[in-house]
Structure 1
Amino acid sequence: MIKYLLILLALSILSGCSFNNDHSDLRERMAAVEREPKGQIEPIPTFTPYSPYVYSAAARRSPFTRPVLESEQRVVGRRLDIAPDLARQREVLERISIDLLSMVGSLSRDGQIWALINDGSGGIHRITVGNYLGKNHGRVVNATGTQLDILEIVPDGSGGWIERPRALALEERDNG
């Protein structure tokens, strides 16, 4: 009995939709919309062409690195015995600029401190006093748990070499 009532209810709902084929109200609304004035589309705005900037100071110090202060640039004076050992086999970190290297940790074993250096591409290297890093023949002369003291040998501009001290400090990250 319930089955017949449900079928009868469904047929009555469907019959209400099918018997009214008069769509005159829809046709009137469509005709009214077509009679309305058409809108105007605004023209595309014109833009001035981009002119790229030519960076001509590529050989200078990067503007994103900390400048070396005069007090830090104290040099040991020009000595004739200062020159990099060009016959020495270069270490892995000497292929990377010291500005791209960062100290990320340290280890201590039998009183010797080893610094953990990030090479900028995700590699971590372990170095200590006597190791070399950076493109300017930088040699680690002192290591603490938070800093490496480096002595670089750089050209002095007149055909000689000078020693320049640098430091690489432990980077602290905010884990918040």
Structure 2
Amino acid sequence: MKSWGHGLALLGMVLSLGACRDADTGDLEQQLASLRADPGELALEPLPPMPVYHSVDYRFADQRSPFQVRLPESRTLPEGDVDLAPDTSRPREPLEAYDLGQLDLVGTLTVGGAPSALVRAPDGNVHRLRVGDHMGSDFGRIVDITAASVQLVEIVPTGRGGWIERSTQLALDG
């Protein structure tokens, strides 16, 4: 019974679509027939001449690869000092888990003549630090606190087995 219903619905749709057809297509048929009989000529411009390709052989296989970075001769890595290695046996302080670029100096204050720095960590907590405290992932030790900045000395590896001290600062924003 269902198949009869579907069949009748399909028949109704076909008949309704057939009724939408315009019966007066004679003019269109005549126009198409005249175009088929005399297509005319299209004026096409000639194609431009093809350029001649000249291949270039790569003759530098015995030289340095252009895809490898090379340090300039004047920029050699410093040896550093093996005895300057950071003390890895001391307990790490909370702000040593972050790079200095992730830390923000939000203020300084002086209590009893001793300056302190207020530093915000990426987790939003503000830490109070004094001279001698450590911060940053490169073993940074605070050596001076001024009204607008914190001076640090970091101990960084040279890449050749030694260590060097690097001075840096964390400044108040604007």
The TM-score normalised by the length of structure 1 is 0.53
CA deviation after TM superposition for structure 1 residue 171, in Å: 1.4
The aligned length equals: 98
Q: Distance in 1 between matches of 2:147 and 2:128?
A: 13
* Amino acid aligned to 1:97: D
Aligned to 1:89: 91
| 2:111 equivalent to 1:109 | yes
| Residue 99 (structure 1) aligned to one of 98, 101, 117 | 101
| 2:147 equivalent to 1:145 | yes
Q: Distance in 2 between matches of 1:128 and 1:145?
A: 13
Gaps of 5+ in 1: 1-34, 36-76
Q: Distance in 1 between matches of 2:156 and 2:124?
A: 27
Residues 110-125 of structure 1 mapped to structure 2, 5 A cutoff: 110-125=112-127
Local SS of the residue matching 2:101: helix
Aligned to 1:78: 80
The TM-score normalised by the length of structure 2 is 0.53
Instruction: Determine if contact 2:152/2:168 at 8 Å carries over to the other structure.
Output: yes
Gaps of 5+ in 2: 1-19, 21-78
| Residue 132 (structure 1) aligned to one of 131, 134, 147 | 134
Q: Distance in 2 between matches of 1:129 and 1:92?
A: 15
CA deviation after TM superposition for structure 1 residue 120, in Å: 2.0
Identity between Structure 1 and Structure 2 (%): 41
